């Protein structure tokens, strides 16, 4: 019975997440907000919108761990490093998903730039690989990513990103390709301590996903988060805390058929971020 559940879970996950072939949202903050994260400015913006990194105030390092549906075979680990320079922000990250029979890896470099007081953009180049059983081999490719972020007034932020600009080929069979994903989102600060987020994600050959989330902060030190997303329907929640230069976030998503997906992430800022 356990083996059947594992097989079904893997098929479900492949159809929903690994269709992106190497790209999965990262960070427990994003997970708790149902991955409505294209407008968030933090280190994990490396995975959600490289343009947002152009507004990063401090360099830092972050790590993330997630286990989809509490299955070891569906675990994800990732890291990111980012450092503001005299002009722009350089970033490095890596994401590793799956186990020995099915594994995707993604490692890349990014550069982001603040072009105006309220507008930033960024690009990223990634090496991606997909490995199946030894008899199927390993597929390697290089992909590009682009993102931008802009503020509309003091309370509204708009963000957009495109993953895998070139739709790199995965296999000649049925013209199978690494997926191209477009994300467009908005965040609205209702009041000083409450942030609402909404987002649309479109993979060129799959159904549109709609997401929404809310984050409430206590004195910018402790955070409560909730969210929901469609196609399929999943609910999420989580919390986090800032302690000096460090931040710890916990989150979980819930699918009514397959259950819980817990995640945890840790961020260390090289410099103290201004409040």
pLDDT, tens digit, 9 for 90 and up, residues 103-153: 889 999 999 999 998 999 999 999 988 887 767 778 888 889 999 999 998
| C-alpha 262: how far from chain center | 15
Mean pLDDT across 194-209: 90
Mean pLDDT across 170-186: 75
CA distance 97 to 262: 15
Mean pLDDT across 68-87: 94
Q: Where are the domains of the chain?
A: 2-269
Structure tokens at 131: 């490995």
CA distance 159 to 168: 24
- 266: which strand partners? 63, 248
Closest Cα to residue 147, out of 130, 126, 125, 162? 162
Closest Cα to residue 77, out of 256, 274, 272, 266? 266
Closest Cα to residue 52, out of 102, 118, 105? 118
pLDDT, tens digit, 9 for 90 and up, residues 252-271: 999 999 999 999 999 999 98
Return the pLDDT at 243.
Answer: 92
pLDDT, tens digit, 9 for 90 and up, residues 159-171: 999 988 876 666 5
Return the pLDDT at 15.
Answer: 43
Put residue 49 in one of left, alpha, beta given phi > 0 → left and psi -120 to 50 → alpha. Answer: beta
- CATH 2.40.160.60 is right for the domain spanning 2-269: yes
Higher pLDDT, 259 or 102: 259
């Amino acid at each position: 019975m356990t083996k059947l559940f594992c097989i079904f879970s893997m098929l479900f996950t492949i159809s929903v997440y690994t269709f992106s072939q190497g790209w999965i949202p990262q960070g427990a903050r994003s997970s708790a907000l149902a991955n409505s994260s294209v407008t968030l400015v933090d280190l994990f913006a490396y995975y959600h919108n490289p343009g947002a990194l152009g507004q990063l105030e401090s360099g830092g390092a972050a790590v993330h761990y997630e286990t989809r549906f509490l299955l070891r075979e569906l675990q994800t680990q990732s890291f990111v490093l980012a450092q503001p320079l005299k002009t722009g922000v350089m970033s490095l990250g890596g994401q590793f998903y799956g186990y020995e029979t099915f594994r995707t890896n993604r490692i890349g470099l990014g550069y982001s730039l603040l072009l105006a007081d309220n507008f930033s953009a960024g690009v990223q180049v990634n090496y991606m690989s997909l490995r199946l059983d030894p008899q199927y081999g390993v597929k390697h490719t290089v992909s590009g990513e682009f993102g931008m972020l802009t503020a509309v007034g003091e309370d509204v932020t708009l963000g957009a990103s495109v993953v895998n600009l070139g739709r790199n080929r995965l296999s000649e069979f049925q013209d199978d390709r690494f997926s191209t994903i477009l994300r467009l989102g908005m965040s609205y600060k209702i009041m000083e301590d409450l942030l609402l987020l909404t987002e649309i994600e479109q993979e060129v050959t799959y159904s549109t996903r709609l997401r929404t989330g809310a984050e409430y902060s206590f004195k910018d030190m402790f955070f409560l988060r909730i969210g929901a997303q469609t196609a399929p329907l999943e609910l999420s929640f989580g919390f986090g805390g800032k302690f000096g230069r460090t931040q710890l976030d916990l989150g979980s998503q819930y699918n009514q058929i397959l259950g819980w997906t817990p995640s945890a992430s840790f961020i260390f800022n090289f410099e103290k971020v201004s409040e």
